[in-house]
């Protein structure tokens, strides 16, 4: 969407009354019109030159670039076989890089928060374990011993 000439949203009922004026403004390049029905965009009013440019972009994306040997497009089969993608415009590249950088920063923030929560858990564990000096056995022994105690108490002979 163009930021130089933002679109003008027009209700369908207003189009019926002002169609001639809207066409003149579109042809003069004053406005880009988007017609809405029930508040949702349904149709755009563009010049024929813009429509041809849209179709050319669509052909380029669907059928690939023009083959320099034949002067024709490679075709949809060639695009599917090779996995060719339309090269990004500079603005698209910048936007994609910014999105990737923001995603990376968000991931780093989540990792730092997770590490911080682990550090807080460690300090709480150290503080609670300082009071019990009689528990010198390793953790696996405590787990094994508690499981053995549970199984002995639940089994009845």
> In 3D, which of 78, 80, 16, 5 has the Cα closest to residue 46?
5
Kind and range of the H or E element at 30? none
Give the pLDDT confidence of 105-150 residue by residue, as tens digits.
999 899 888 888 887 777 766 666 555 555 566 665 556 555 555 5
DSSP 87: P
Q: Which is more confidently placed, 38 or 87?
A: 38
Domain parsing of the chain, residue ranges: 7-86, 88-126
Fold of 7-86: YefM-like fold (3.40.1620)
The pTM score is 0.42
Q: How far apart are CA 22 and CA 83, in angstroms?
A: 42
Q: How far apart are CA 30 and CA 137, in angstroms?
A: 82
Contact yes or no for 73/65 (Cβ under 8 A)? yes
Sole residue written with tokens 């994306």: 61
At residue 92, the pLDDT reads 65
């Amino acid at each position: 969407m163009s930021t130089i000439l933002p679109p003008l949203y027009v209700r369908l009922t207003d189009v019926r009354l002002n169609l001639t004026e809207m066409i003149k403004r579109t042809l003069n390049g004053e406005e880009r019109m988007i017609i809405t029905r029930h508040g949702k965009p349904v149709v755009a009013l563009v010049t024929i030159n813009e429509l041809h440019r849209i179709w050319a972009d669509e052909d380029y994306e669907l059928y690939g670039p023009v083959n320099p040997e034949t002067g024709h497009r490679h075709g949809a089969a060639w695009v599917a076989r090779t996995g060719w993608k339309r090269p990004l415009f500079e603005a698209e590249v910048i936007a994609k890089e910014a999105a990737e950088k923001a995603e990376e920063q968000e991931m780093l923030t989540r990792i730092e928060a997770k590490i911080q929560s682990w550090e807080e858990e460690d300090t709480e564990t150290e503080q609670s374990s300082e009071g019990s000096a009689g528990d010198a056995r390793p953790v696996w022994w405590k787990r094994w011993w508690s499981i053995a105690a549970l199984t002995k108490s639940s089994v009845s002979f």
